[in-house]
Structure 1
């Protein structure tokens, strides 16, 4: 520990290294552990630092790929100096071609259907098997191109990317409808104002009905009814399932779940596909739901929240994935009687407010957990709502992010003032601390005691400079997740070539802004915005008092450009936040230096301790 501190890497240096988050970048102290700097040690430590920097630079993409939310590919690329939309990387252009498993349109035409039409959905219900297996999200396009097709969420079995929901019954001694049953429909169009009832007659004397209604968003209400027209009691178990032939093309990561999900016993279970491959995952609960989540989309079957059910995530013999539920106990139906079981099916975009509305109004347990907020949810959700309010106010998300930055900096300004005052005191006691270090250089425990005594006498806190940084780290990470996880930020433009603030900057320097026909590797894909970020960090560091230690000077000279490379693959919106924060930091430092001019003065030579 003492050896590393002697290299000149005190708390203040580590704070300044990440100071782009936006606080005053004054090294908080040279540290009671600093000791005497030795030229040879400095050279050795600089070599170590250079090696570590290289490892970070080239290893960061692999680390970030798993730890951080997956970056959305830029919706445009620059070719020949012009902006060109990029096709959706998750879409398969051959999906509807003769080379696909089967042509989707041909599969759709093979069975009778009821059309689905809402302000946000278009598709159809397959009357064979009572499946909702054809659905597109009309308000969300695959790319930013004007003629981009809408996002397709569900596809029928037999077509590439089969993905559908089905409702039915199981029961001993009952010929319940199955996947081959052709249901009769009460109408040919399901809209928010025109519900549809599907019915089927059983040869054992039962009538099965599925009453379907849909709201103006993405929620289907499902009422399954069994009327027993036979002479003996029957027992039936209602079920619902979501079947998915393929895994999501989105990447499942540590802090951004993509894949199977089940809410059980008041907790959200984010299940990996690999876990389902290893065996069925079962959950017993009263209140909950089960389904699949993509980066922005969700399908979920929601049982009656008042009755116990068994939720399952499983792999079928055909190697597709199935999320389903069934009631924990069969329901008895006496002759001449009927029973009804109510449930819901969600298929659509994970819009924050909408999920919360369904949770509160329909009583769906933890429905908002479809968005993997993670540990910083208490910070992320308020940031989202404030940012969304600013966006509705100014109609530009980039401007909203700038206003958010100004707000955060204004809230932290009193802390920064106290930080500067503490740093001024810290700088004033530097000569005394140097003298103590020199006097007790051969007795480290005594040196520690004397320095701590000096801090107490002078009423200074050597860690005060790190507090604003510690506050900014969760804010930065929370904003990053808000930009990447919430669909409200998807495809939101800023200015000029920035068409999506949740994606990296597409205007790359190494291919001369698109004039050269090649794409640099990810760790060299430096855009204009990341360069502006590096420049802002450089001038911010230059505004700080020059470190007394040569090693710190070398680190501070390299750090802005390292951070530029590390931040380049991140969302432009986050970089806009950081650049704005750096500019505000420089203005704040100029103001506070006027209040504490001693911080700009060089530290006096240490006096000999008495």
Structure 2
């Protein structure tokens, strides 16, 4: 198989499997605020929720900013809910929940009751009940304890049964984090994943997690398993949460519920120090096992060199050395194909009017010289899972957030060497920034492909020239707005391939 066909197969696989995932946008916005009218919880679909009438969250209330060591939390007073969280250690990354920890009861309109150094409480009073929500923060921690207290003010028993919303998934086109959102449900015996696109109910939930690209919020009931749900509000948003158990409160009595909340990065070390079971929130798709190994290796390299950029370079070198035997096999196959290329071209010219005979004689030629036309393709295909695993790992790993290298201010984002003036229009693909690293990577790929190309004639030569130019351009465009850490890895990989090809050429 000629080099042009190998390139075409690799490019087709890459574009087909990752095109929708390879165009990241700036990662400063998580779940956008959604204030659409809420649907009625359908009893047949969300069987544990009892809500008799349509419920709309109270109108946006006064915003209260509550500062802690690790993050600043913005509360919506009327909802007594978390609007968003800004993480100080990660360039004030904004993680928006819209109305996290909302008690979905249209009659409740909260007021701030008390604010202390480590807690803030809200109170809502209706004709029949008094509800207090108290958030208690732990010093230098991403955990919060949420206490909900309901007192019956009336002279008759009342029922306490309502949804507690963990957060909102926003699927609208304007939300660049939509493709990263998912839900993790820990039940009594298994871990479930959910994309939030349809109504779902769960009988017993140990904990529930909602995440974006880098951060997550988790809720776990202190009193044990509770039912939960995913409720599709419309085509652009869904709610996820727990259902407070149905309880009857006698006149003058009160009940209380305690929930443990996590608001922070998807960091396995942090999870292990709080609740190791929460580590199941972190997953990297189909090649999760390979992704975990690559990240652990990257972390080990970082401990040695103390720089994430250098660690990525060393990881690229290490992966290349591991795949070196496959690269040797691929290069040898390409070399054998190049030696036979004049004879292949001669057979094509001699049988240009008889394609069937031409293919038969070419295959006989390969068989005579013991050349496998697929020999250069198989090693390439075997490397694809590693690339996809590394892509998912670097795209979602929190370790690169805010990591600097050379001119790059954040390895989890494009390198942004130059931000265009505000008066300039947004350019297609480029947006409003010049990212130089993908351009350097594309140039390196062009040189590497140029050196390793197999000489041919006729139409094949023209196609090869087109692929030689087209492939680096396409990869440059695909990588243009990807995290610079991933672009750095791919550039180093191309550079190593170039050096290897030069050595192979000298050895001929």
Q: How high is the TM-score relative to the length of structure 2?
A: 0.71
Q: Which has the larger radius of gyration?
A: 1
Matches within 5 A, 1:372-391: 373-391=284-302
Residue 285 of structure 1, aligned match among 203, 227, 246: 203
Cα deviation, 1:212-236, whole Å, max 9, x if unaligned, reads 4647432224465779999999864
1:189 maps to 2:105: no
Give the SS at the match of 1:139.
helix
Query: 1-side partners of 2:411 and 2:133: how far apart?
Result: 47
1:179 corresponding residue in structure 2: 108
Query: 2-side partners of 1:199 and 1:556: how far apart?
Result: 66
Residue 413 of structure 1, aligned match among 324, 327, 331: 324
Structure 1 residues 308 and 301, CA gap change in structure 2 (3 angstroms): closer
1:501 maps to 2:411: yes
Give the SS at the match of 1:15.
helix
Residue 121 of structure 1, aligned match among 71, 87, 101: 71
Is the 8 Å Cα contact of residues 112 and 122 (structure 2) preserved in structure 1? yes
Larger RCO of the pair (alpha carbons < 8 Å, separation 6+): 1
Matches within 5 A, 1:69-88: 69-72=23-26
1:56 corresponding residue in structure 2: none
2:90 corresponding residue in structure 1: 140
Query: 2-side partners of 1:91 and 1:202: how far apart?
Result: 31
Structure 1 residues 592 and 379, CA gap change in structure 2 (3 angstroms): same
1:220 corresponding residue in structure 2: 144
Is the 8 Å Cα contact of residues 502 and 571 (structure 1) preserved in structure 2? yes
Is the 8 Å Cα contact of residues 233 and 332 (structure 1) preserved in structure 2? yes
Is the 8 Å Cα contact of residues 30 and 95 (structure 2) preserved in structure 1? no
Query: 2-side partners of 1:326 and 1:402: how far apart?
Result: 48
Structure 1 residues 436 and 479, CA gap change in structure 2 (3 angstroms): same
Deviation at 1:345, TM superposition (A): 1.9
2:4 corresponding residue in structure 1: 13
Residue 522 of structure 1, aligned match among 428, 439, 443: 428
Is the 8 Å Cα contact of residues 182 and 194 (structure 2) preserved in structure 1? no
Deviation at 1:587, TM superposition (A): 1.7
Give the SS at the match of 1:286.
strand
Query: 1-side partners of 2:30 and 2:298: how far apart?
Result: 28
RMSD: 5.1
Give the SS at the match of 2:330.
helix
1:486 maps to 2:394: no
Residue 547 of structure 1, aligned match among 449, 455, 476: 455
Deviation at 1:556, TM superposition (A): 4.8
Give the SS at the match of 1:387.
helix
2:191 corresponding residue in structure 1: 266
Structure 1 residues 181 and 12, CA gap change in structure 2 (3 angstroms): closer
Structure 1 residues 518 and 391, CA gap change in structure 2 (3 angstroms): farther
Is the 8 Å Cα contact of residues 135 and 147 (structure 2) preserved in structure 1? yes
Cα deviation, 1:139-182, whole Å, max 9, x if unaligned, reads 232xxxxxxxx345569xxxxxx5342459x9xxxxxx973467
Deviation at 1:493, TM superposition (A): 2.0
Residue 347 of structure 1, aligned match among 233, 241, 263: 263
Is the 8 Å Cα contact of residues 116 and 189 (structure 1) preserved in structure 2? no
Structure 1 residues 499 and 91, CA gap change in structure 2 (3 angstroms): farther
Q: How high is the TM-score relative to the length of structure 1?
A: 0.61
Give the SS at the match of 1:469.
helix
Deviation at 1:290, TM superposition (A): 4.8
1:78 corresponding residue in structure 2: none
1:313 corresponding residue in structure 2: 231
Query: 2-side partners of 1:439 and 1:289: how far apart?
Result: 70
Is the 8 Å Cα contact of residues 203 and 227 (structure 2) preserved in structure 1? yes
Is the 8 Å Cα contact of residues 81 and 102 (structure 2) preserved in structure 1? yes
Query: 2-side partners of 1:399 and 1:342: how far apart?
Result: 45
1:240 corresponding residue in structure 2: 164
Deviation at 1:407, TM superposition (A): 0.9
Query: 1-side partners of 2:504 and 2:250: how far apart?
Result: 81
Matches within 5 A, 1:393-404: 393-404=304-315
Structure 1 residues 439 and 357, CA gap change in structure 2 (3 angstroms): farther
Cα deviation, 1:511-564, whole Å, max 9, x if unaligned, reads xx9699636613467643333223322322332255213214422552345544
Deviation at 1:495, TM superposition (A): 1.0
1:257 maps to 2:171: no
Count residues with an aligned counterpart: 470
Residue 536 of structure 1, aligned match among 436, 439, 444: 444
Runs of at least 5 residues in structure 1 that lack an aligned partner in the other structure: 1-9, 22-59, 74-87, 93-100, 110-114, 142-149, 156-161, 171-176, 276-280, 598-610
Give the SS at the match of 1:189.
coil
Cα deviation, 1:187-209, whole Å, max 9, x if unaligned, reads 83327xxxx99999999899989
Residue 592 of structure 1, aligned match among 499, 504, 507: 504
Deviation at 1:326, TM superposition (A): 0.8
